Structure 1
């Protein structure tokens, strides 16, 4: 038992049963109530939350791959609510700091990961914590001529769309500000689709979920972000949702791979660009994206459009001064002591 285990009891689980060396828990669980949510305790203090229609059979499966199980607790849950209850338990225990071995539904995965071999932990920490304006990427771009040719025709169609240039500006800015070491991680850990469905210009995907979708809602482009909520809550306090909803549409929607520490925010072009370059929202995007990359490679590499990324980089560089003008205008409007009427006007 650890000092954090009381959070498990707070979720309604009974205290631990010692299962050290046991091959079966058939004698510990009522034969008529074996469907529910369980928690496994390991010798090193880590925990695992799961659900099962028959927890006795599931325990046997766990023993084959996890021989260091020493404790077990379980409570019956109805089939119609079992998935939601498992999710609630994982999110709650993770938020309380209980070390979990779960991967699904987790916001953060611990220990050495495949991503660490490509981007060192020191590089990850520096990227996440040190604010730097985008600079020329030192790493070479990915080369895959077959994949590139596969999307050539669709890319040409993209370039004929009425809002293509603005969409590229959004995409290029996002890659520059929110994707760690974009050249080095491209295709393996993130991908960018081209016209994946009607009305959608592109999606940026990491691991098994989208993190940015750029679409035309009929009156202009909208950027739909998924980002971590913990940095916003840290700075704005427990009422951050109410404060933020006065600025932009937000929802609690989240994708399972990124875990519970995420939310969805939608913004039109100019506001989306400002959000990507605001340090707090920039951190929230970076936090989720880095966590997802540490979970594993992107599942959507076959949908990656290399030409689209190339053009997005180029447009972002060409429109860098436009972005700076947006910053200056926003700062002037946000500062009550600044004379906003002079912003953007040439002196005479």
Structure 2
């Protein structure tokens, strides 16, 4: 293959056993030399000259065509992402990749020398130090360490160049702040987070290959049942189609998820695909401090050093290391400890092995240990709640009720409240009231909030306010907004502002919007802009409307219109109403009425009446009467 004729193109290696390997190369002679070092059974090579810009397309076409003809390919990746030749092969050889992909998952992280970039380490040290003070980290580390060991090839060798881990990244920091995120090339494959107001929780969201999971679990409902509950969602990424997201709550459940059939294979398929695409694009945020904790050999926890196998089993169980827990429970049960037999029953219940669960429960009871059996759905309330909410959004309330009830059985007090909200929406007020009350009595403020809102609709303001205060005492600080609104109606403006400020301090965006309205009444433009902007930053599009009204008061109608239009495009019907008012002031009644009609269709039935009131205030009673007539039609 003379260099003068060109050595850039697509090649196919044929091996003694009939297998093929499709690849691409800018210099196929050099590439063939590399393959000879990896494979000792190459029989033939075929080569086609292809322009460098078209290598990816031709390579994929060749792979798909050969697969369609029934040939067995040695390619590590078959049909997605960057195929064949990859810079990764110079770091982890193709043979190592194939061997790793087919291997049994191991806790061994390797002994490769890790990279070190002092400047990057220093730049991200403060974020690592923030994470190091998080009480949740100790339980999360073993789970993330297992993910690295089981699903990323040579994690120490590929650290920084192919994958990165960020400590407390800024993603969704005002609503769902993250503890950490692992990124391969440009795709976040694992992140751990919690809702802003519930920072004691840890929710693991894992991306895996969709096709692999579908091969193991054609019906997602089977996956839910086998695991107890795992929230499953198809994700669309431009960088890599065919991604499935699995979500569970707690490190223990994440460890269990990795043990579920097909999950590690699907994670490996996606991860290998991504790191073959190219270098880690988020290397600037890589936390070497966090990686130190994950990749350096950890000390054996003191609770694993004791002589008591039951204690060691309980410690492993708490971390989600179920195989280790099962081992120690069996040892303890063999020495005559009935609690260990009971714990084995619990484990087999979780694993849906009813026969073994019954055996061990019976043995524990025979030896005098009578415990409270754990539900198979224990600890999976996040996924159950997410599944319920998903079915609400899909318009399937009966299935949503089923999942809420399962979440209740697994110990969720929030599920009672959410069930109450759904039942109330379905018109089942009596059942909703029972659900709200049970949630409140179990200590969840959302239950008292729901009950208070029912009393307010009934006109019982005194009892409603008392229930809102119970909700606040139970931790539902959003109820302060409702209390503040009731105080405003009574003319207790100072008390109302204090309630709004407490809610704003707890990061309720609607409270910031209401504080902006108060600032407007005081003619404090600076404070109004600050509060409206903060409401918008935290996700409340009413902030756009407030900012638009400030601009309109300044005489900047174009700026106001832009803000109202942004609010309308974000789905806020108040934006449409304000656009209608703006055009009515410009005497463009045709467009004003069109926006009113659109607002009414979007769920703002008082749009015409509000516009009429505004026109009366502006000294245009005839125009106001016109909209009053339209409103009554």
TM over 0.5: yes
Output the CA distance in 1 between the equivalents of 2:87 and 2:368.
55
Residue of 178, 189, 204 corresponding to 2:182 = 204
Closer, same or farther: CA 174–316 of 1 in aligned 2, 3 Å: farther
Q: CA deviation at 1:179?
A: 1.3
User: How far off its partner does 1:170 sit?
Assistant: 2.6
Q: CA deviation at 1:166?
A: 2.0
Deviations 1:176-221 (A, max 9, x none): 1111100110000000001002320000000111000101232521
Aligned to 1:167: 140
Q: After TM superposition, give the deviation of residue 255 of structure 1 in Å.
A: 2.2
* Matched residues, number: 257
3-state DSSP of counterpart to 1:223: strand
Give 1:243's aligned residue: 222
CA contact 1:169–1:316 (8 Å) conserved in 2: no
Matches of 2:320 and 2:189, distance apart in 1: 24
The reply on whether 1:336 has 2:383 as its aligned counterpart is no
- Counterpart mapping for 1:1-348 below 5 A: 65-66=53-54, 107-197=80-170, 198=173, 199-217=177-195, 218=198, 220-237=201-218, 239=219, 241-246=220-225, 247-260=229-242, 262-269=243-250, 270-313=252-295, 318=300, 322=316, 323=319, 325-327=321-323, 328=326, 332-333=348-349, 334=351, 335-338=353-356, 339-341=359-361
Answer yes or no: is the 8 Å Cα contact 2:109–2:156 preserved in 1: no
Give the distance between the partners of 2:52 and 2:124, measured in 1 at CA. 44
Find the aligned partners of 1:114 and 1:229 in 2 and give their Cα distance. 25
- Unaligned runs of 5+ residues in structure 1 are 1-42, 47-62, 71-89, 100-105
Gaps of 5+ in 2: 1-46, 70-78, 305-311, 327-343, 370-633
Q: Residues 203, 95 of structure 1: CA spacing in aligned structure 2 closer, same or farther, 3 A cutoff?
A: farther
TM-score by length of 2: 0.37
User: TM (normalized to structure 1)?
Assistant: 0.64
How far apart are the structure 1 equivalents of 2:216 and 2:279? 31
Larger helix proportion of the pair: 2
How far did residue 97 of structure 1 move? Answer: 5.9
Q: Deviations over 1:21-44 (max 9, x none)?
A: xxxxxxxxxxxxxxxxxxxxxx96
Deviates more, 1:220-229 or 1:317-326: 317-326
Q: Deviations over 1:285-336 (max 9, x none)?
A: 1110001111111110111000101113459664697257523357522322
Query: Residue 40 of structure 1 aligns with which residue?
Result: none
SS at match of 1:213: strand
Change (3 A) 1:307 1:336: same
